[in-house]
Amino acid sequence: MHRKLSEEDAAFQQEMRDFFTTKVPQDLRDRWAGGGEPAADDIRAAQRLLNEAGLAVTGWPTEYGGRDWSTLQRHIWLTEMQAASVPPPLAFNASMVGPVIATFGSEEQKKRFLPATANLDIWWCQGFSEPDAGSDLASLRTTAVREGDEYVVNGQKTWTTLGQHADWIFALVRTNPDAPKKQMGISFLLIEMDAPGVSLRPIQLIDGGHEVNEVFFENVRVPADQLVGEENKGWDYAKFLLGNERVGVAPVGSIKRWLANAKAHAQQITTAHGTLLDDPLLAARIAELECQVMALELTALRVAGGSRDGKPDPASSILKLRGSQLQQDVLELITDIAGPSGLAWTSIQDELAWASHATATYLNFRKASIYGGSNEVQRQIISTGILGLKG
């Protein structure tokens, strides 16, 4: 595979680079690059700028705002956006529930939800994980009982990311507890967060931030027309959604930017023999990570867009696995470079201000090997779905 772009693709890359670096305000991109808890207003502002330019929901069908791009163009779009520190379109909207509604939803649901979802006029959150159903998602116990033209929902979701900002939640609920397999009898419901009986409780993380929540449903009445697709077929839609999610969790552009930052940070720190960047062990560690990122990028080019006929490409599990590992490796490198300065949990107003975010960011991204299907689950998919091994 040649890594040199054709003239057409190079022009496309420059077009994306120009847009992201000139049309998205610098101060917004600086805040995003600085790390810490994301600001909801920044995420909304960025997505609306992208949507206005037709760059927010590029993976959707073209009739709903998608772009008929090649796999390489989609990769370039995403990589340039990450490299410019532009907040990406909210994943819950752009790469999760949006494609599910566009593919499996009714015509009424498409008209009602897709434009608002693309423009982030509706903020979605994900109602999948439960206290005893995370990695083993099919064990979920939240129930939805059909009563006339409504479902009555009872149960609890947890680790609901950014749920405090959400207007709606897309939830997996059990509609047939007597199904012969636990993956059967699950449905995909769209629920308003301000519906009577829905409550939310924040979970404070180890880095002190509030990014995830618990969501409780107590006799919540949901109109039956908010069921996506067929009743008891929700597991199929969830697998489609998770396949798309895994493609998006190999942030090659972000990892490259973090690596460049790591080198710049190391150059700031003086040692007896120059700067920390001159240390041969550190240089070797950076070089090894750069090689691994290059391999990940090539794999992403092969896998992106591999979802066909509503079924995820099992190779997307490779991206999820390696993408999350490399994220953590690079952030651990930055934490090591920060050294004792990384122990500060309040902002440092000097040239080492980045160091005060290093440890918190590293700890936050430990979650990357759990969400989107744990890395242990990805290894099972790779062994059975790609290598053909039998357990």
Whether residue 118 contacts residue 64, with contact meaning beta carbons closer than 8 Å, is answered with: yes
Confidence of residue 2 (pLDDT cuts 50, 70, 90): low
Query: How high is the pLDDT of residue 391?
Result: 61
Task: Look at residues 95, 75, 96, 85 and name the one whose alpha carbon lies nearest to residue 36.
Answer: 85
240-294 pLDDT per residue, tens: 887 666 555 678 888 999 999 999 999 999 998 899 999 999 999 999 999 999 9
Residues sharing a CB contact under 8 Å with residue 52, sequence separation 6 or more, in sequence order: none
> Which tokens in the block code for residue 72?
């390489």
Out of 245, 288, 290, 376, pick the active-site residue.
Answer: 245
Question: What does residue 170 show for φ and ψ, rounded to 5 degrees?
Answer: -100, 125
Residue 97: pLDDT over 70:
yes
Could you confirm whether 80 is annotated as catalytic?
Answer: no
Indicate the pTM of the whole model: 0.83
Give the pLDDT confidence score for residue 75 in this predicted structure.
81
The single residue listed with the structure tokens 């008209």 is 111
CA 316 to chain centre: 13
Distance of CA 327 to the CA centre of its chain: 13
The two three-digit tokens of residue 286, written as one number: 């950076």
pLDDT over 50 (residue 186): yes
Provide the residue type at 143 as one letter: T
% of residues, the chain, pLDDT over 90: 62
What is the rounded CA–CA span in Å between residue 211 and residue 115? 26
Q: Which pLDDT score, from 0 to 100, does residue 310 have?
A: 47
Looking at residue 176, its pLDDT comes to 95
CB distance 153 to 193 below 8 Å: no
For residue 253, give the nearest of 2, 59, 1, 29 by alpha carbon. 29
Q: How far apart are CA 196 and CA 96, in angstroms?
A: 25
Long-range contacts of 53-56 (CB under 8 A, 24+ apart): 53/19, 53/23, 55/19, 56/89, 56/94, 56/118, 56/119
> Is pLDDT at 107 greater than 80 in this prediction?
yes
Measured between alpha carbons, how far is 217 from 170 in angstroms, rounded to an integer?
Answer: 13
